[in-house]
Structure 1
C-alpha cells in the first residue's frame, strides 16, 4: 500500500505544523485523532485550529527532487507552498 503525505497546518497562517511524509509497504492509513496522539507537534495544539491536506502518493516528486520542502499551505487554494535551497550556497 502507498500512502501520500498528510500536511497539517495552522488554519490562521498556513504554516506547516507537521508533514507525515509518504509511506509505502505494510502501512495503514491513520486517522486525524491517531496523528494528534502520535505527533508531539500536533498534541500541543487545539485540534480546531489545525487544518490538513492529504497529498497523493508521489505528488510533487519534482519539487522534492529539487530539494523543495513544504513550509506553508495556501489558505485559499489549499495547495502546498514549497521553499527551495539557495543554489548559491
Structure 2
C-alpha cells in the first residue's frame, strides 16, 4: 500500500504545522483524530483552526526535493513552493518567492501549447 502526504496547516496564515510524509509497504492510513493525538503541534491547537491537504503518493515529489520551503495559499487552499533564485548574486540576501508547483505550471503550459497548436492547425485547414 502507498499513502501520500497529509499537510496540516494553520488556516489563518497558511503556515505548515505537520507534514506526515509519504509511506509505503505495510502501512495504514491515519484519521484526523489519530493525527491530532499523535502530533504535538496539532494536539496543542483548536481543530477548527487547522486545515489539511491530502496528496497522492509521490505527488509533487520534485517540488518537495527541490524547494526551500512551502506553504498553503489561503485564497486557493493549494500548496505553493519557494525555490532558490538561480540569478541571485552570491552573498545577496534572498527572499523566498512562493509560486504554484512547477509540475502544475508545466501542465498548464503544455495544455495552452496544445490548444494553440490545434488553433493554428484549424486556421491552416481553412487556408489562412
Judge same fold: TM > 0.5, yes or no: yes
Q: Indicate the structure whose relative CO is greater, using CA pairs within 8 Å and at least 6 residues apart.
A: 1
How many residues are aligned here? 88
What value does the CA root-mean-square deviation take over the aligned residues?
A: 1.8
Displacement of 1:41 after TM fit?
Answer: 0.6
* Alignment CA distance shift 1:69-1:51 (3 Å): farther
Stretches of structure 1 lacking an aligned partner (at least 5 in a row): none
Q: Which residue matches 2:57?
A: 57
Rg larger in 1 or in 2?
2
* Alignment CA distance shift 1:69-1:48 (3 Å): farther
Stretches of structure 2 lacking an aligned partner (at least 5 in a row): 92-128
With structure 2 as the length reference, what TM-score do the two structures score?
Answer: 0.62
Greater strand content: 1
- For 2:72 and 2:63, the matched residues in 1 are separated by 15
Greater helix content: 2
Residue 14 of structure 2 aligns to a residue whose secondary structure is: coil
With structure 1 as the length reference, what TM-score do the two structures score?
Answer: 0.87
1:70, 1:80 within 8 Å by CA — same for their partners in 2?
no
